[in-house]
Amino acid sequence: MEWGGEYSLDSSNLDCLLNILPGELEFQQILSDLDEKIKKNTSSIEQCLKDLQSEVNEIYTNEILQSTTDCLQWLNNCSFSSLRPSSTHHGELMEFLRTLQSLLKNEQNQEEMILHFLLDLSSQCGVSFPCTPSGTSFELTSSLHAIEDDSTMDVKSLWDDVRLHLRRFLVNRLQSQEETNTNALQQQREFKTQCIQQLLFLYPESEVLTKYQNMQNKLVSDLLQNCILSSCGETNFDKVVHGYQSSVPTLCTMIKEDLYILSGTIDPSSSLKFINETYLDTITEEMTVLLERLCELQFKENALHIVKANKISKKHRGTVHAVASQEYHKKGRNFCLTLYQLKCLSQLIKLFLLMEEKIDELSAEILFVPSFTEKNKNVQGVLKKASGELLIGETRANETSVLPEQLLQVEEPILLNFGWRNAFKDLSSSVAHCITIAIEDFSTKILQHEQKEEFSAAGCAMSLVNNQQMRESCRAVQQEEQPKRIAKFCSDIMEELDTLLPLALACRDDSLQEIRANFVEACSKVATAVLARLEEKSKDVPSKAPLQDLYAALSTAIYVFQHFTMYNNLMRETSKKPLFLVPVQQYQEFINVLQFQVTNYCVRVCATSILQDAESHHWDDCKAFYEGERCSFSVQMWHYFCCALHRDLWTILPPKTAQEILTDVLEQSLAILSSRYCQACPSYKRTPQIRIDIAAILMSTEDMLWSVCSSVQEFLNPHEDRDLKIYKIHSHCNSLLSVLAILTSPLKNLYETFLNNSDEQLPQDFSKVFYHPLHWLFCIPSSCSSLPKTPSAREMAAQGQLKLLLSQPYCNLNLLLETLLHHDCLLVKILLRSSRNEVLNHDEQCSLLEQINNKQPALIETIFTVLSYCTLSPKSLGIAFETYMEKEQLWNCLYNMTVSSCGELEPEVIRCLKLTLINSVKGIVKQIISLMHSWEATENYGMYQHKQIVPESLLKTVPKEWNYTPREMKRKESGKCFTRLAAQAVSIVISKLPTVIACLPPPVKYFFFLAERKMSRNFAELKKAGLLVWNLIVIICRIFEDGNTAELLTGATLDRWSKEKLSLVRVCLESIMGKQKSGPKQVTQKVIQSIEQQRPNWIESQLLKARKLSADCASLTVEGATLEEGGIALGFTEQKINMMVLDICHKPGGSEYLRQIYHIIWLNEEYLKEQLSCENFSEDGVTSSQCLPLTLMGREEQPVFNPFQVYRQSCVKVFNQSTITEWNWDWSNLLPSYLGLNQMTFRVLLAHRYSEVMKTLPYTFTCFIFSFLLEETKIYVFTSGNVLSSWILSSLLQLLPHLAMLSIAQAQ
C-alpha cells in the first residue's frame, strides 16, 4: 500500500488547556477545532474503507462487499488461514530462505537490513510470515499467495534458523541497551519498543513476553541483590533500608519504561499482568527471603541475649528488653525489636507505600489515560505505524475460531497486585508487641529528661524549637494554622511517632491489624502524658514560669492536635471509625481553655497592673503632668505590653490564633481605657494630659490594627455581624475620640460649633445616627498617608496596602496578590524599575552568577510568571511591564525573537515571553517531527535508507508471485510524496494556530495586543496576521531551522535528512508570512499551491481566524477593565482573589514565586515605603537610588524583645510625644461630627469638664465666661428667631450651681 498521507488522522493537542481557565471565545474555538478534526478523521476513515472494499472485491470475486459496513464486518470475521491460497513454487521459497540464512551467517551486520526487508515484504506484498511458537509445525501462507505443502519441514527448519538468528540479534540489542544505559530516556524507550515489536513479528506474543520477562526478572533480582548484599558483613536492618532506598527509584523508572513500551505493544490487562509477575512478585519474593533471613539472625541474637540476661537478671531487672525477650521466648519464634530496628522497618514500609502509590499513578496515567505519544502497535499480525499505515504481519495459522459459549465467559479484570505486605506477616506479632514498649520507653525518657532540665534551671522559660520546616506528613495543614515554635520535648516525641507511623499505615490485612491497634493505643497514652505535662506548665504561669510558657503550651497543644488529626485522616482509609477521637477531643478542649486563659491573663494584667497609675491619673491635681509634654506612664507601658505581646504571639503561635488573641486583648483593654477616660474629671492643668493620652492610645491602636486585620475588607469596612471584635475596637476608639473632643477642645470652638448648628433638628437617640467606624482614624494626622481619602472609600492607599501585607504574622498569599495588583500594579512597577541594574559591581556580579548557577528565578521572571498566571486580571501583565518595556526599549525585540537558549544578554522579559510561546507550540513541533519520522520510516528515506540497501543477490531470489518492488525504484516513482508531506506539515501548523492562541494565558494575549497597538506603524506587514500569530510562526520557524533546538525540545533524534526537510517546511511558512527575503522556490510554490488547490483561501482564513481570536480576547479584556474604577484590584472580590491564588499555587512553582516576591518586599520594606510615599509620584521623574536585592537571602532570627529598642521605635514611628503636643487639631471639622451625640453622654462629658475647670479658675473669670455665654445665647435667640435646644440650654445652665459654689467660696 502507498504511504497513507491521504488517510492521515489528525488530533487536537490540548495539553496546555489544563493550564489556563479558558473564556467563552476560547471554548468556542477549542470545541470547533475538535469538531473539525472529528469530521476530518471520519472522512479519512471512510475513504480508507472504500479503497479497501474495492481491493477486496477485485481479489475475491466470490465475495462482494456492498458497503463500508460490510467491509468492517468482513475485517472482524476475517481469518487468513481460511483464505484460498495460491501456490508459490517450493524451489523459489527454499532459495529465498537459504539466501537469508547465508547472509545472516556469512555477512556481518545484516540483521537490521533483513528485518526491515521482511517487514517491507509483509507490508507491500501481503506476505504473512508465520510466528508460531518454537518447535511447532506451521504453514507459511500469504494473504495473496501460498506455497505448496511438500517439504514443509525443510521450510520450517530454514525459517526457524533465520528467525532464531534475528531473535538473538534483537535480544542482544536489548541486553546491551540495558547495560550501557547512556542514551536519553525517550530514545531508549523508543529503541526497546521497536525491538519488542520486531520480536512480535517473528514469534507469538506469549513467547516474546516470556523471554522479555525473564530478562527483566534477572535485572530486578540482580539490582536488589547488588544494592543490599554487596556491602561487606552480615545483613542487618540498616543495610536493607539503605539498599532499598537506592533501588526503589530505579525500579520505579524501569516499571515506567516498561509500561510505556507495553502500552504500545499489548493490551492493558496483559501489561498489568507483566508488571505483576516481572516486578511486583519478584520484589515480594526477594523481600520475603530477606526478612526471613533477618528474622533468623534476630531470633538467634535474642536467644543469646536471653541466656546472658538470665545470668545477670538482678542487675537488669525491670529493663524493657529483658522482659520482652523472656515473654517472647515462651511463645516460640517471636523476638524483640529495638527502637532502631523498628525505625528501619518503618522506613522500609514507607518506601513500599510510596512505590505502591507511584505505580498506581503510572498505570492510571499510561494505560488508562489516552496518550498522544502512543507508539507503534503489533497485535495479532498488525503493525500500526504513526502515519496510519497498516502492515500485515504474522498469521495465527493454528488459531481456532472462538466458540459462542466462550464469548459469554467474563474474565475478571487484571489489577495491580503488590503483595509486599505478605513479607511482613512473620514480623507482625513481634512488631505489634515491641512498638508499644518502644513508644512508652522513648516517651517516658523524653518527659523525664525535660523534667530534669526544668528542675536544674528553675525559673527559666520552656525550651522551644522552630517549626518552620514542617515535615512532609504535616504539610496538609495550612500555613496560617501551623505553629511556629513548640516545646522541644513534644517535638522529639512527635518526631519519633512520625517515624513509626508507616508501620500503622501499612495495616490493610487482618494479620497486620494488631500493629495498628497497638500503635493507636500507645499514641493515646503518649498524648495523655504530654497533655498532663502541658497542663502543669500552664499552671506554673506566672508564679514559677514566665508568660511565654503559656504561649508555648498553647502552640504545642495545637501542634499535637494537628498531628493526631492528621493520623486519624491517614488511617481513615483502612478504618471506618475514628481511631484518635478521645485525644483529639481532649486537646481541642484544652486549646480552647488555654486560649481563653491567655487572653484573660493579658487583660487582667492590663486592668490591674499596667493601667493602675495613681501619679499619672491624678486628674484633680492642680499641677500639670510633666508640663503637659508627655503621656501617662500607664499608656506608655500599655503600648510596650502590646508590642511585647505582639512579638511573642507572632513568633510562637500559629498566625490565625495569634491574631485572634491579639484582637481580643486589644479590644478588651480598649474597653477598659474607654471606660476610665469617659469618667475622668481633669483639672484645668491636667486637661492637656487627657488629650495626649487619648491621642497616644489612638496612635498605638492604629499601629496594632494593621496586624489584627487579615484583609482590606476587614480593615476598611468592618461589619458588626461579620467582624464584631474589629467593630468593637473602632467603637471604643470613637468613644475615646469623643472624650477628647468634648473634654479637651477649646471652649470657644465648642461653643461656636454648637451655636452655629443649633438650628438643626438633632436626633434624640444616638443609636439612630450612623458614624463610620473608621472616623477616628481620619482624625489622626500620622495615619492619613496609609488610609483612603475618606472613610467610605473602597480602596486603600498604596502605602496602607503594603503596611497591611507586612503586618501579617505570615505570608498571606491572597493579600500579597491583591497588593501586587493594587493601584494598577504600582508596587510591581517600583520593583521592576528598581531591578534595572545597568552597572553591577563585583559583589553584585558574583551574587548574580550564584543565582544563575543555583537556577533561582530572577525577580523579573518571577513577577512575569505570577502575573501571567492571573487569568482573571488579564491587563495586569501589560500594565505592569508597559513602562519597563518603554524605558528599556524592548518593544522592538518582539519582532525578531530567537529560540537559542544561550543568550546571556537577552532581556529577561523577552526570554519569558519566548518560553511561553515555545511551550505553546511544543505540541505542534512534536506532531510535525512524528509525522516526518513516520513518513521517513515508511518511504525509507534519511536514516532508514541505509537499512534498506538490499543486496542484489537477495532481490533476485524473491518469488515473482509476490510482485515485490524495491524501495529505491518505488521512491523514484512516487516523487510527489514529499510535496504531499510538506503540505500536510504546513497544514498542521496553520490549522492549529487558532487553538494554540485560544490556549494561551489571557495576560500574554493582552500583552501582545498592547505591543501591537504601540508598534504596528513600523511593521506594516504584521497587520495581516497580527503580532501574536507572527511570533508563533517565527518561533516554529526558528525551531525548525535549528535542529538542535528541535531535538532538545522534543527529545527526538533528527538526522541530516530530517533537518533538511524541516528547514524546507520552515521556508514554506516564511513564504506564507511574507518574511522570505528572496522569491519563493519552486518546491515551496508547489507545496502552497497543493494546499490552495485542495482548500482555496484556507490559509488566509485560518490566519484571519487566529488574529480575530487574539484581538477579540484582548478587546473583551479592555472592555471588562473599563468597568473597574480606580485600579485593577478594585474590581476583584475576595473570592476572585482567592480563585487566582489557588490557580497560581496549582501551577508549576506558583506558590514559591509568590513567596519569593514577598521575601523581596519584606527585605526592602523601608525602601518601598519611601518610594510609595513620594508626593506627586511620577515614574519618569523618580529614579531608584538603592539597589534592590534580587536573591533570596535569609534574614537572621529576630532578637529577644528589647524594650529600649521598642521605646526608640515608638518615639519615632508610633507616637512622638513632642509632636503630639504640637498637633494643630482641626476642631472646626472634628466637633461638628458630635452634634448628634447622645444627650446623656454630652451632659456627663460636659459636666466632667466644667466641674473641674470651674474649681481651678478665678471667680471673676468664671463669672465672665457664664455671662458671655448667656449674652451670646440671648443675642442668637432674639436675632435669629430660633429656639435654642432645651438640652443645650440645660447643659449651659449646669454652670449655675458651680458658679454659686464658687461665689460662696469667694465670700468665705
791-829 per-position pLDDT tens digit: 655 567 888 899 999 999 999 999 999 999 988 899 999
- Contact, 981 vs 1064, CB < 8 A? no
pLDDT score of 520 more than 90: yes
What confidence tier does 306 reach under pLDDT thresholds 50, 70, 90? low
Question: 722 vs 1129, which has greater pLDDT?
Answer: 722
DSSP label of 465: E
Where is 727: in which H helix or E strand? Answer: helix 724-744
Beta pairing partners, 392 = 382
- Contact, 259 vs 363, CB < 8 A? yes
Label residue 1109 exposed, middle or buried (CB < 10 Å: 0-12, 13-18, 19+): buried
Please state the φ and ψ torsions of residue 683, each to the nearest 5 degrees.
-75, 175
DSSP E strand stretches across 419-555: 464-466, 485-487
What confidence tier does 750 reach under pLDDT thresholds 50, 70, 90? confident
Q: How far apart are CA 447 and CA 529, in angstroms?
A: 9
Where is 142: in which H helix or E strand? Answer: strand 141-142
What confidence tier does 53 reach under pLDDT thresholds 50, 70, 90? confident
Range of weakest confidence among 181-195, 508-522, 664-678, 694-708? 181-195
Question: 489 vs 1246, which has greater pLDDT?
Answer: 489
pLDDT score of 571 more than 80: yes
pLDDT score of 437 more than 50: yes
Q: What mean pLDDT is predicted for residues 786-790?
A: 65
Range of weakest confidence among 377-381, 877-881, 1215-1219? 377-381
Name residues whose C-beta falls within 8 Å of residue 299's C-beta, 6 or more positions apart in sequence. 333, 335
pLDDT score of 3 more than 70: no
Dihedral sign, CA of 650, 651, 654, 660?
negative
Where is 127: in which H helix or E strand? Answer: strand 127-128
AA identity, residue 1059: K
For residue 765, the model assigns a pLDDT of: 44
Region of 461 please: left (phi>0), alpha (psi -120 to 50) or beta. Answer: beta
pLDDT score of 762 more than 50: no
Question: 539 vs 402, which has greater pLDDT?
Answer: 539
Question: Cell triple for residue 1131?
Answer: 474590581
Q: What mean pLDDT is predicted for residues 913-937?
A: 85
Write 756-759 long-range contacts (CB < 8 A, 24+).
757/1232, 757/1235, 758/1276, 758/1282, 758/1284, 758/1285, 758/1288, 759/1280, 759/1282
Name residues whose C-beta falls within 8 Å of residue 245's C-beta, 6 or more positions apart in sequence. 347, 351
SS3 labels along 972-983: HHCCCHHHHHHH
pLDDT score of 788 more than 80: no
Beta pairing partners, 485 = 466
Q: How far apart are CA 398 and CA 392, in angstroms?
A: 17
- Contact, 808 vs 654, CB < 8 A? no
Q: What mean pLDDT is predicted for residues 76-81?
A: 56
pLDDT score of 140 more than 60: no
What confidence tier does 662 reach under pLDDT thresholds 50, 70, 90? very high
DSSP label of 1212: I
AA identity, residue 882: E
Question: Cell triple for residue 764?
Answer: 434624640
AA identity, residue 354: L
DSSP label of 146: B
Q: What mean pLDDT is predicted for residues 841-864?
A: 60
- Contact, 757 vs 765, CB < 8 A? no
Question: 888 vs 305, which has greater pLDDT?
Answer: 888
pLDDT score of 897 more than 80: no
Please state the φ and ψ torsions of residue 510, each to the nearest 5 degrees.
-65, -30
Question: 633 vs 1058, which has greater pLDDT?
Answer: 633
Question: Cell triple for residue 1204?
Answer: 529600649
Dihedral sign, CA of 435, 436, 438, 442?
positive
Range of weakest confidence among 427-431, 645-649, 935-939? 935-939
Alpha-carbon dihedral 157, 161, 167, 172, rounded to 10 degrees: 150
Range of weakest confidence among 97-106, 169-178, 281-290? 169-178
The number of angstroms, rounded, from the C-alpha of 269 to the middle of its chain's C-alpha atoms is 33
Question: 256 vs 66, which has greater pLDDT?
Answer: 256
For the chain, state the CA radius of gyration: 42
DSSP E strand stretches across 346-422: 377-379, 382-384, 390-392
> What is the secondary structure of 1076-1135 as a DSSP string?
-SSPPPHHHHHHHHHHHHHSTTHHHHHHHHHHHHHHHHHHHHHHHHHT--SSSGGG--HH
Label residue 576 exposed, middle or buried (CB < 10 Å: 0-12, 13-18, 19+): exposed
For residue 785, the model assigns a pLDDT of: 62
- Contact, 1171 vs 1195, CB < 8 A? no
AA identity, residue 682: P
- Report the interhelical angle of 24-59 vs 68-77 (nearest 10°): 70
Q: What mean pLDDT is predicted for residues 1007-1013?
A: 87
Q: How far apart are CA 207 and CA 217, in angstroms?
A: 15
Q: How far apart are CA 246 and CA 777, in angstroms?
A: 62
Alpha-carbon dihedral 378, 379, 382, 386, rounded to 10 degrees: -40
pLDDT score of 768 more than 70: no
Q: How far apart are CA 886 and CA 23, in angstroms?
A: 30
pLDDT score of 337 more than 70: yes
Q: What is the pLDDT of residues 314-336, one digit of tens each?
A: 444 444 444 444 444 434 456 78
DSSP E strand stretches across 327-394: 377-379, 382-384, 390-392
For residue 927, the model assigns a pLDDT of: 87
Rounded to two decimals, the pTM is: 0.82
pLDDT score of 603 more than 90: yes
Q: What is the pLDDT of residues 1260-1272, one digit of tens each?
A: 445 544 554 455 4
For residue 1198, the model assigns a pLDDT of: 55
Q: How far apart are CA 1193 and CA 773, in angstroms?
A: 41
What confidence tier does 1 reach under pLDDT thresholds 50, 70, 90? very low
For residue 669, the model assigns a pLDDT of: 96
AA identity, residue 710: S
Q: How far apart are CA 809 and CA 467, in angstroms?
A: 14
| Rounded (5°) CA angle 869-870-874 | 115
Please state the φ and ψ torsions of residue 486, each to the nearest 5 degrees.
-135, 170
For residue 926, the model assigns a pLDDT of: 87
Q: How far apart are CA 265 and CA 255, in angstroms?
A: 15
pLDDT score of 553 more than 90: yes
Q: How far apart are CA 1259 and CA 860, in angstroms?
A: 74
For residue 458, the model assigns a pLDDT of: 59
The number of angstroms, rounded, from the C-alpha of 689 to the middle of its chain's C-alpha atoms is 55
Share the mean pLDDT of the chain.
75
Q: How far apart are CA 236 and CA 221, in angstroms?
A: 19
The number of angstroms, rounded, from the C-alpha of 41 to the middle of its chain's C-alpha atoms is 37
For residue 717, the model assigns a pLDDT of: 83
Question: Cell triple for residue 1124?
Answer: 473597574
Q: How far apart are CA 801 and CA 1230, in angstroms?
A: 26
User: Both ends of the chain: CA-CA distance in Å?
Assistant: 133
Q: Alpha helices of 870-966 — where are they, by DSSP H?
A: 875-888, 908-939, 952-956
For residue 721, the model assigns a pLDDT of: 76
Residue for grid cell 487579615:
710
For residue 152, the model assigns a pLDDT of: 55
Strand duo 382-384 + 377-379: pairing? antiparallel
Question: Cell triple for residue 1150?
Answer: 506558583
Q: What is the pLDDT of residues 14-29, one digit of tens each?
A: 545 445 555 666 667 7
Listed residue (912, 827, 823) closest to 1169, CA to CA: 827
Alpha-carbon dihedral 1089, 1090, 1095, 1098, rounded to 10 degrees: -50
Question: Cell triple for residue 226?
Answer: 547488588
AA identity, residue 178: E
Q: What is the pLDDT of residues 145-162, one digit of tens each?
A: 334 444 556 778 888 888
pLDDT score of 401 more than 80: no
Range of weakest confidence among 193-207, 479-493, 1174-1188? 1174-1188
Q: What mean pLDDT is predicted for residues 1149-1170?
A: 89
Dihedral sign, CA of 1236, 1238, 1244, 1245?
negative
Percent of the chain with pLDDT strictly greater than 90: 20
Q: How far apart are CA 145 and CA 966, in angstroms?
A: 19
User: Which of 38-42, 924-928, 1241-1245 is modeled with the greatest confidence?
Assistant: 924-928
pLDDT score of 487 more than 90: yes
CA-to-CA dists, residue 314 to 318, 322, 857, angstroms: 9, 11, 65
For residue 711, the SS3 value is: coil
For residue 533, the SS3 value is: helix
Question: Cell triple for residue 1066?
Answer: 520552515
Residue for grid cell 493454528:
398
